[in-house]
A and B are shown apart, each in its own frame.
Chain A
Amino acid sequence: MINFVLLISRQGKVRLTKWYSTYSQKERTKVIRELSGVILSRGPKLCNFVEWRGYKVVYRRYASLYFCMCIDPDDNELEILEIIHHFVEILDRYFGSVCELDLIFNFHKAYYILDEILLAGELQESSKKTVARLIAAQDSLVETAKEQASSISNIIAQATK
């Protein structure tokens, strides 16, 4: 099971965090500090895995962004490495050649996408197409809802005032 997902930049800035196991805010800060220290200092040719407090952290670097996932000791590291890649491919498809900037300003979108890929710490969908379809459906619905909300309800609100 994946215990948490972390996206940190090379400067150690947090870009996205998702916690599937329970951690208090204090623990979270500590975990991020500890892990970014460990991971950012690792050389390029080394393993993409780090053993940490009895768990394993699998990370992968894309340009200046590190995608990290903390997993149980009996999980398959290579698989997790590919889940990270799967996530990035979907992000890429969604944003159209994704960059860190996309994630910085649209981190909530990234959360929605992550929610379609991982659920309760497990991979729920391994088809990129399915995920893309679902996200698109949500977006279109949100957009129409937004329009409706801004047009109708505003009119009503103003009329009733």
Chain B
Amino acid sequence: MNNFGLDIARLGFPYHHSALSDPCPRVCEAKVAKLEQLKTIGRELAMGSQGGWGQTKEFLDLVKSIGEARSKAEEDRIVLREIDTLRRRLADPDVPRRRMKEYLIRLVYVEMLGHDASFGHIHAVKMTHDESLAVKRTGYLAVTLFLSDDHDLIILIVNTIQKDLRSDNYLVVSAALVAVCKLINEETIPAVLPQVVELLGHPKEAVRKKAVMALHRFYQRSPASVAHLVSNFKKKLCDPDPGVMGATLCPLFDLISADTNSYKDLIVSLISILKQVAERRLPKTYDYHQMPAPFIQIKLLKILALLGSGDKEASGHMYTVLGDIFRKAEHSTNIGNAILYECICCVSSIYPNPKSIEAAAAATSKFLKSESHNLKYMGIDALSRLIKINPDIAEEHQLAVIDCLEDPDDTLKRKTFELLYKMTKSTNVEVIVDRMIDYMISINDSHYKTEIASRCVELAEQYAPSNQWFIQTMNKVFEHAGDLVNIRVAHNLMRLIAEGFGGEDESADSQLRSSAVDSYLRILGEPKLPSVFLQVICWVLGEYGTADGRYSASYIIGKLCDVAEAHLSDDTVKAYAISSIMKICSFEIAAGRKLEILPECQSLIDELSASHSTDLQQRAYELQALLGLNSGAVEAVMPSDASCEDFEVDRSLSFLNSFVQQSIEKGAQPYIPENERSGIVDIGNFKGQYQQEASTHSLRFEAYELPKPSVIPPPTFEPSIPLSATTDLVPVPEPTAYTKDAHRASTKMPSSTDALSADVGVRLRLDGVQKKWGKPTYSSSPSASSSTSSASQNATNGLTHTDGGGGSVSLQTRETSHDSRRQQQAEVSAEKQRLAASLFGASSVAKAEKKPPTAAQKAPKAAAATKEKAATTTTTTVPSTPPPDLLDLGDPTSSDTPLDDPFKQLEGLLGSTAAASPGIINPPAAPASKAPDLMAIFTEAPTGVSHSSIDPGLSEIYSINKSSHIVATKKGPNSQDALQKDATARQVGVTPTGNNPNLFRDLLG
């Protein structure tokens, strides 16, 4: 019993509900006397509850020993032992019912701790049949906790439920209704539905309320089952009991969100209810922290938001009551803010009204200015709703938003990213996506990483200011979240590089490609790259690695060999690599240059020729065969840069007709379609002499997929191989190579699609799908860049220049204020403002610094040679160093250019005006993001200390200590309360002595 101290932590219930105050009491100095006192109370309490609720010592011991377990393993051992005991006891045919009840509660406990107690489920079901309400309720409680609505045992309970719903004891009916809510599934709804509907008219409001909730559940399970009951719901809205009315709002909300129009008639009455509630017409018992029935108000507001959405007339009725609620709202309590938030949601959903929006914006700004993180969070959410109506509202709060973005609290940060995502435009996309990517890199949560990666991709596709930026952004996304993004994104990127943006400007496209090649060659040096990204890299290098003549074929081939060797286990990457090598080789041969096969390349080919993957084998053999061909043939097989060219697939293979004719004349059997010859095992006959060749590249060890007629002929299309050989004019030295080439020529498969899709059948199909999917992207991206090209170019350049100017200014200020910390802080806030400017565009800060765009455009070029330019670039590189470096912020000058981001260098190579933009946009971000990092260190330090002081092995004692303080500090009178409580419990007679002699004996023994 002594060890009970562990769990005596009082719940620290705040009696004065200043809702914003932290409910957690603070721990303070230890006092031994108090601790002792508390231990005693704990013991007393344990005794009291023991006697009060009729549990045996066994149960108490179980709970206690689990409470004292020091490790999960120990807890598991105890629970497993308990499971054994219970299994034995339950197997006993005549257990007394009272005992049985306790066993069930113990089973519930065991399941709560995460163990399987399914052996006892049937006993719970049996217990629901019991006559006694006490036992029956325990049975119902256990089944609702044990079983899900698809459990097999449900069918055994339905009958009992039916009986209990007819009971004249309303408590039995209530218990049954609770079970109905949890257990009745779509199939069993009809069995209880009529009775539940009947209960809507039950004299007890508790039953009516539960019946309404049960019907709501039925609606969620199967909307059709209660479709005819809509009028009942409407009627229940006028129930004299506010509880029933409140409950009715739940199903109504669901019904209305499914179909708004048929409930417009409710608007007036709902508004009048809301008005009455807000005017405190409901009984006082529904007040919560001095607010009149806030939960009902919130539900009503949610429904009104639905009904008023896009309906000017309906919304017209709501403005007055919304204004009233805004006026009466209580900012100091949590619940008041909950109502306010719901009002804002409602205002932003219904037809806009300037006055309401003004009130909503005012409330939002109160949220954002609050100290409480919760309210800031709600404020950010509210803001993201309001900007849909009026984007200007965000402007006022830009600094608050930036603060939230840099807050150490992840939840707040994510919410802010959500807001930014919603307010992204082509003017601020670069800043936002950069931020998102930085954050994406910093987190581990794969669920959110996927989400934010896909958002980055979406924004980049929608608003990309330039091709280079797009490719760099995608590179970053792939590099850091490559395994999480959809493979189609990769295909999309390859397609973009292949097709280019505009089409009319060929040189821009080739520049784009060579920049991509440059960046990929650089990235390849990094150790761990996701498979998807490597595929993209291999493909691009294969297609365009040698296109601009800056890199030699052997250099690229060497790189590709490295990739293949470094990823031995990844067949897809190897396939991409070998196909790319093949492309490079064939371009070289076609161009008439002499091609040397590097030794590592040859060994790769040899290795893959013997690979267990037939796909890799095929590719290796193809490459080998190709190397032996003359340039004309190679060019026909692998035309250069033909990845975007359409090619027609002759599905009927009409060009084979003459061969088929010939063969049949020579006595060959005609082809029988697969569906007709299903069951015929003897295909050998049909395949005939080509069996051997077929086996070299068509043997598959995985299960065959179902034949899909619409698919482009897969590589292993037997008859086509030899046939096309005859029709084709390619001179063929040896049979294997012969078939390969012939096949290639016959399907006229351009190199790229081969790499993209020919390797796996599935991908082939996907490619087709992707085309549809990808289309809007391409049409939209050009519109972002080309249609508005001159305008947006100017705009972005203007903007970037503004930032650039800011950046250089900040550099100077930083240099001058090296010693003065205060100035640096001022600097940080200036940086923040600049970030705000780049995010929100039209801010006053930005305006102040803005220069005429023409000058802006010229300035960077002119300054390029000057020192100033050099200075700016050095500063720009500082922020782009990886996050850990941000911490040695002590002297920014010390971080040097070699740490430069690859992309920045790439841009330096390109030397275009656009190159300056992403680089320079960064500086405002950098120091700003330093601030929170430092903050994080400070804030983490104390918590870390407190943890370490608690965590060590003797934590039990510590926690006793701690809890004692909690009680001592937070709830002075509580210890007395507890004593009193115990005393009264004894007086009332719930003590062991009074009622349960047996139990008491247990205890004593």
Contact = CB atoms under 8 A, between A and B. Distances in A.
Q: Do A and B come from one complex?
A: yes
Interface of A: 9-11, 13-14, 16-20, 22-25, 28-29, 32, 43-54, 60-65, 76-79, 81-83, 85-86, 88-89, 91-92, 96-102, 104-109, 111-112, 115, 119-120, 122-130, 134, 137-138, 141-142, 145-146, 148-150
B23 A61 contact: yes
Contacts of B23: 60-62
Nearest to B212: A124
Interface stretch (B112-120, B630-638, B794-802): B112-120
Contact of A107 (B109, B169, B294): B109
A63 B10 contact: yes
Given A28-B114, A99-B9, A149-B98, A81 B334 contact: yes
Given A105-B49, A119-B178, A142 B133 contact: yes
Contact of A127 (B13, B54, B243): B243
A61 to B, nearest CB: 5
Contact of B977 (A22, A48, A96, A128): A96
Nearest to A23: B148
Nearest to B302: A76
A51 B414 contact: yes
Given A63-B11, A82-B288, A105 B108 contact: no
Given A51-B414, A126-B286, A129-B285, A98 B13 contact: yes
A128 B46 contact: no
Interface string B166-194: 00010100100010011000000000000
B226 interface: no
A149 to B, nearest CB: 5
A60 to B, nearest CB: 6
A115 B178 contact: yes
B111 interface: yes
Contacts of B412: 46-47
Nearest to B24: A61
Given A82-B294, A107-B109, A130 B10 contact: no
Contacts of A83: 295
B943 A14 contact: no
A22 B50 contact: no
Contacts of B858: none
B148 A44 contact: no
B149 A22 contact: yes
Interface string B112-130: 1110100000000000000
Contacts of A105: 46, 49-50, 53, 55, 60, 63
A124 B378 contact: no
A17 B283 CA distance: 32
A149 B150 contact: no
A141 B171 contact: yes
Residue of A65, A98, A145 ringed by the most chain B CB atoms within 10 A: A145
Contacts of B289: 82
Given A79-B298, A126-B286, 18 more contacts: A10-B959, A43-B939, A47-B409, A47-B412, A63-B24, A64-B9, A64-B962, A78-B378, A79-B342, A85-B19, A85-B334, A88-B13, A97-B10, A100-B9, A106-B53, A124-B210, A125-B209, A134-B206
B189 to A, nearest CB: 13
A78 B335 contact: yes
A124 B377 contact: no
A52 B963 CA distance: 30
Contacts of B181: 119-120
B293 interface: yes
Contact of B150 (A22, A28, A108): A22
B171 A137 contact: yes
In the A-B complex, list the 9 residue pairs whose CB atoms are closest, starting with the nearest.
A78-B338, A63-B12, A64-B9, A129-B285, A142-B134, A126-B295, A29-B114, A120-B181, A120-B217
A14 B24 contact: no
B49 A101 contact: yes
Interface in B1-55: 4, 7-13, 17, 19, 22-25, 42, 45-46, 49-50, 53-55
B162 interface: no
A46 B373 contact: yes
A88 B298 CA distance: 20
Interface stretch (B137-145, B153-161, B536-544, B684-692): B137-145
B530 interface: no
Interface string B435-479: 000000000000110000000000000000000000000000000
A51 B113 CA distance: 24
B214 A120 contact: yes
Contacts of A64: 9, 959, 962-963, 966
B974 A97 contact: yes
B216 interface: yes
Interface string B394-426: 000000000000001101101100000000000
Contact of A81 (B11, B108, B374, B978): B374
Contacts of B376: 47
A71 B342 CA distance: 16
Given A65-B9, A125-B209, A149-B132, A82 B338 contact: yes
A18 B242 CA distance: 26
Contact of B98 (A23, A100, A125, A150): A150
A119 to B, nearest CB: 4
Given A77-B374, A78-B337, A138-B137, A63 B295 contact: no
A50 B111 CA distance: 26
Contacts of A79: 294-295, 298, 335, 338, 342
Interface in B363-412: 373-374, 376-378, 408-409, 411-412
Contact of B285 (A47, A97, A108, A130): A130
Nearest to B246: A126
A17 B109 CA distance: 10
Nearest to A154: B96
Contact of A108 (B108, B286, B288): B108
A124 to B, nearest CB: 5
A20 B178 CA distance: 12
Interface string B233-265: 000000000110011001000000000000000
Contacts of B294: 79, 82, 126
A97 B619 CA distance: 75
Nearest to A149: B132
Given A14-B114, A122-B213, A100 B11 contact: yes
Contact of A98 (B11, B50, B959): B11
A108 B181 CA distance: 18
A132 to B, nearest CB: 10
A76 B338 contact: yes
A71 B46 CA distance: 34
Contacts of B939: 43, 45
A107 B289 CA distance: 27
A149 B134 contact: yes
B433 interface: no
Contacts of A48: 373-374
B971 interface: yes
A108 B377 contact: no
Nearest to A88: B13
14 contacts: A29-B114, A48-B373, A49-B377, A52-B447, A78-B334, A79-B295, A82-B338, A83-B295, A85-B334, A97-B11, A100-B7, A101-B7, A101-B49, A138-B137
